[in-house]
Structure 1
Amino acid sequence: MGFGGYLLIMIIGALISGAAALWVRSSYARWSKQPSSSGLTGAEVARMILDRNGLTHVRVEPVPGTLTDHYDPRAKAVRLSEGNFRGSSVAAVSVAAHECGHAIQDASGYVPMRLRAGIFPLVMFSSQVWPMAFLLGIIGLGQFWIQLAVVMFLAVLLFHVVTLPVEIDASRRAYGILGRYGVLSAVETGGSRRVLTAAAFTYIAAALTAVLMFLYLLMASRE
């Protein structure tokens, strides 16, 4: 198994993640050129969704970069990349609705989101510890270190697994809201689905890579 196996898993993971990123950028590029029929910007759509769901206290803010959109549960802020904040394309309003989906999850106490937030500090610690423990094991300091890496990586794996329902549910909410609020037409909602499905695949790719790494570490710990 050794270091060669580790490199193989890293290469496979990079290829999967690269394919997912390419799909996202391709879908986003296509639908960012398609104006939404409502003419509303991502910021306007986000504000409307939040207000209609009683989340008037949640801010909508621009953030530098491309596809840097996220919801910050600590600051209670939906942060949209500048293009999506000011843009009125199908892609822009889809991303805005998705991030508002996370704000709604937060407000409703959505269990997978709370679980993800709860284990995040442990994940940050484990992410730093497990590679060092694994390295100590493969250079010959004993199986204990590889076994410790397995235990530490479990937190990382759990984080990726729990992230899947969080992201899929946020996209599901976005689909319904955009059509129900009249932001997108039926045809445009199909484009929105393609954009958000591609984005969801990046999380599936990350979870798959984490599963492969865990299986590799588990086999290495038994040698």
Structure 2
Amino acid sequence: MILDFQYYLFLAPALLLMMWAQWRVKSTFAEAEQVPANLSGAAAARHILDAAGLQDVAIEQTPGMLSDHYDPSTRVIRLSDAVYSQRSAAAVGVAAHEAGHAIQHATHYAPLVFRNIAVPAATFGSNISFILLIFGAIMGFRPLIWLGIIAFGMVVAFQLINLPCEFDASRRAKKLLGEMGIVDYEGGVAVARTLNAAAWTYVAGTLQAVLTLLYYILRFTGGSRDE
């Protein structure tokens, strides 16, 4: 499928949306970096966590650009260099988003619980699905093909479960940053623009997974008979 033009044509809407979303994230983040905030990203996350009674959640600095994430297995928020130390709307917006995930975890937010359960299955499905599909097609063994489709379906399920987690974390971030006075009105607008742009990357990733699954179904079960 690497050389299958139809595959890329089928996924074109998702790929174009992803390229636009990534450009949008970089541009809005760069703009929001110019808007000052009252705290650094790390300090904002710490303030939000402490207010929620989550003093046991650690905050660490991690290398990379926008490599920020919350690790539920170790209860650690890892913030990229710029986000960790900057006192900007961009930094506190991203940091507050990750703090939102930590609060979701602590309050047993249902979509996050299901997402964490789905991670191993999605990882396994992503690694094994293509192998099952190819060998199933080569051998003409449809049960193996369907196993590959089901395996990739785990990836799609994870993406769909992940969407409400990300949207809710951003909603919490916008609300808390304003209520705690970490950003003013201008900063709040910059935070909203940055997090809204980031949301489109999650939408694009989900769309790509859904279209890939549909392509697999059509390609290996309904369309061509010459595999």
Contact 1:126 1:156 in 2 (8 A): yes
What SS does the corresponding residue of 1:35 show, helix, strand or coil? coil
Report the alpha carbon displacement of residue 56 of structure 1 after superposing the two structures with TM. Answer: 0.3
Report the alpha carbon displacement of residue 100 of structure 1 after superposing the two structures with TM. Answer: 0.2
**1:174-185 matched pairs, under 5 angstroms:** 174-185=173-184
**1:135-174 matched pairs, under 5 angstroms:** 135-139=134-138, 141-174=140-173
Contact 2:35 2:190 in 1 (8 A): no
Contact 2:149 2:217 in 1 (8 A): yes
- Mean alpha-carbon deviation: is it higher for 146-155 or for 114-123? 146-155
Let me know the Cα RMSD of the aligned residues: 1.8
What letter corresponds to residue 190 of structure 2 in structure 1? G
- Mean alpha-carbon deviation: is it higher for 99-108 or for 20-29? 20-29
- State, as a whole percentage, how many aligned pairs show the same letter: 39
**1:34-49 matched pairs, under 5 angstroms:** 34-36=35-37, 38=38, 40-49=39-48
Matched residue, 2:21: 20
What letter corresponds to residue 222 of structure 2 in structure 1? R
Matched residue, 2:209: 210
Aligned residues: 221
Task: Give, in whole Å, the separation in 2 of the partners of 1:70 and 1:141.
Answer: 42
What letter corresponds to residue 157 of structure 1 in structure 2? V
Asked whether 1:118 is paired with 2:117, we answer yes
Matched residue, 2:76: 77
Report the alpha carbon displacement of residue 33 of structure 1 after superposing the two structures with TM. Answer: 1.9
Matched residue, 1:94: 93
What SS does the corresponding residue of 2:55 show, helix, strand or coil? coil
Deviations 1:13-51 (A, max 9, x none): 433322211111111111112212x2x111111111000
What letter corresponds to residue 81 of structure 1 in structure 2? S
What SS does the corresponding residue of 2:187 show, helix, strand or coil? helix
Deviations 1:167-217 (A, max 9, x none): 000000001000000111122211100000111110000001111111112
Matched residue, 2:198: 199
Contact 2:136 2:144 in 1 (8 A): yes
Task: Give, in whole Å, the separation in 2 of the partners of 1:9 and 1:32.
Answer: 36
Task: Give, in whole Å, the separation in 2 of the partners of 1:52 and 1:34.
Answer: 24
| 1:17–1:140 Cα change, 3 Å | farther
Report the alpha carbon displacement of residue 148 of structure 1 after superposing the two structures with TM. Answer: 1.9
TM-score (norm 2): 0.91
Contact 1:164 1:204 in 2 (8 A): yes
What SS does the corresponding residue of 1:60 show, helix, strand or coil? strand
Contact 1:3 1:138 in 2 (8 A): no
Deviations 1:67-123 (A, max 9, x none): 000111111111110111100011000011100000000000001101011011111
Contact 2:35 2:186 in 1 (8 A): no
Task: Give, in whole Å, the separation in 2 of the partners of 1:87 and 1:167.
Answer: 23
Report the alpha carbon displacement of residue 135 of structure 1 after superposing the two structures with TM. Answer: 1.9
What SS does the corresponding residue of 2:70 show, helix, strand or coil? strand
What letter corresponds to residue 167 of structure 1 in structure 2? E
- Mean alpha-carbon deviation: is it higher for 71-80 or for 212-221? 212-221
Task: Give, in whole Å, the separation in 2 of the partners of 1:92 and 1:123.
Answer: 30
